[in-house]
Structure 1
């Protein structure tokens, strides 16, 4: 075999950081050793994997072609190493989740995943759907948990569980005394919304089809807790996942509003995986724990 796993690790780290010094630091190597490993890999096969612009390394067409295959090969090698050493069936995992899932569901799954004799670490990145999808496409996350519709030829989108958005307000809001809202109520209300690009905003806009140009949106916020606090303060009404609102409804600090029946706010949560990424035992275990929720 003309290449080593170490050379592949340097190649992938350089692809991620676009800088050989940062790639070397991530692998606990010297800059000269990492640079030599990458140069040897390219020289052995008379290829060039990067365009070099000053100190910046930019994957070229050939590098982009081989990156997913190198990623999959290293993942399989790491999984085989775990099996040989007879350690835990699951290993370290890099998970990405959208805000609703990350803040209200994923932490519980993390606790269960890490509760084994070897305590495999889990890193959790919380961001909106488009950011998580890009990180999975770039192999910077092993698996993503998203709440938005997604079309990408590079990603496998697997249904996980159902969810529903709920329109809500403070108990003192005038609409709190109204049994069922109509479209005029929705037009006249002041809205506190999630930001564009989030799965929640995507589902809301689908449910509000035909009304969007007429809606009065006062605030667009990235965090669900900030939206809840703004609605509690009487600044307007909101629309978030029932997962997010359950505790506030029980306390009575917020109340649900009944939207017209033809306004559908049902949606799906999904797993996303890169189609060329190796499905390790850790990924399978994570998905199993999620489905047990």
Structure 2
């Protein structure tokens, strides 16, 4: 074989960091050793995988072509190593989750996974849909759990869980009183309200925009916040009304600190997905996580 796994590690680390020094630090190597490994790797096949741009090493077309295969080969080698060293089928797993899923569902899934695979550590990265997708595409995450819908040729979307958004307000809000009288609110109420919403790029915002098609240009959006809890606190402070996943609001509705507003003319249902890079090697850990998500009912 004309290449080594260490050379693959160096190539992948440099592709990720676009910097030789940071790649060497990650691999606990000297800079000269990492540089030599890359040069030997390229020399063996008479190919250049990076363009040198100042201090950056940027993947060129050839490098982008071979990176997915290198990632897959290294993942298989690591999977094999875990089986030999730990006598376990599943190795370490890097999971990404969007904010609502990460804060309300993913921890329970991690507990089940770790109970079934006690020797397989799991790392959870929580961010919005766009950021999780970028990390899966860049092989920083093995699998993502997202709320939004994506159309990217390199990502496989695996339907996972049905969810629904809920419009909500403070118990003393005028809309709460109107709903008590009428049983629901209508589009004119939505247009008159002040809204506190998630930021663009989040799956929740994507589903909200789809549900309120036709009204978006005329909505009064007072605040856009990145965190679910901040939106709930702002609505509790009577700064406006909000719209979040029902899984994030169960406790607040039960306590009566927030009121669910019924909007029968609007469809707030959505699908949650698992996303995996199409060229990512499906390790035993990834397969086990997918099966766990499919087989366990989810409650916040």
User: Which TM bucket (shorter chain)?
Assistant: over 0.9
Mapped to 2, the partners of 1:235 and 1:272 lie a distance apart of 35
Asked whether the equivalents of residues 155 and 275 of structure 1 are also in contact (C-alpha less than 8 Å), the reply is yes
The residue correspondences of 1:104-183 to structure 2 (distance < 5 A) are 104-115=104-115, 118-177=118-177, 178=179, 179-183=183-187
CA distance in 2, matches of 1:242, 1:216: 22
Deviation at 1:31, TM superposition (A): 1.0
Match of 2:220 among 216, 232, 238: 216
Change (3 A) 1:132 1:117: closer
Q: Give the Cα–Cα distance (whole angstroms) in 1 for the partners of residues 189 and 228 of structure 2.
A: 23
Show structure 1 runs of 4+ deviating over 4 A: none
SS in 2 for 1:226: helix
Secondary structure, counterpart of 2:105 in structure 1: helix
* 2:72 counterpart of 1:68: no
Q: Report how far residue 28 of structure 1 moved.
A: 1.2
Give, in whole Å, the separation in 1 of the partners of 2:118 and 2:218.
55
- In the other structure, the counterpart of 1:20 is 20
**Contact 1:88 / 1:118 at 8 angstroms: preserved in 2?**
no
Structure 1 length normalisation: TM-score?
A: 0.97
1:45, distance to aligned residue in structure 2 (A): 0.8
Question: Partner of 1:278 in structure 2?
Answer: 281
Tell whether the 8 Å contact from 2:195 to 2:240 is kept in structure 1 after alignment. yes
**Structure 1: unaligned runs, 5 residues or longer:** none
Alignment of 1:213-252 (within 5 A): 213-252=217-256
Please state how far the C-alpha of 1:80 moved relative to its aligned partner. 2.0
User: How far off is 1:68 after superposition?
Assistant: 0.2
Between 283-292 and 163-172, the greater mean CA deviation after superposition = 283-292
Describe the shift of the 1:106–1:265 C-alpha distance in structure 2 as closer, same or farther (beyond 3 A). same
**Following the alignment from structure 1 to structure 2, what is the Cα–Cα distance between the partners of residues 233 and 14?**
48
Count, aligned residues: 292
CA distance in 2, matches of 1:184, 1:275: 44
**Which residue in 2 is equivalent to 1:262?**
265
Look up the match of 1:94.
94
Conserved in 1, the CA contact under 8 Å of 2:164 and 2:268? yes
Q: Which secondary structure does the structure 1 equivalent of 2:152 belong to?
A: coil
Q: TM-score, normalised by structure 2?
A: 0.95
Distance 1:135 1:161 in 2: 21
CA distance in 2, matches of 1:25, 1:91: 23
Q: Distance in 1 between matches of 2:226 and 2:119?
A: 32
Q: What RMSD in Å do the two structures reach over aligned CA positions?
A: 1.2
Q: Helix, strand or coil: the match of 1:120?
A: coil
In the alignment, the residues of structure 2 paired with residue 56 and residue 154 of structure 1 have an alpha-carbon distance, to the nearest angstrom, of 25
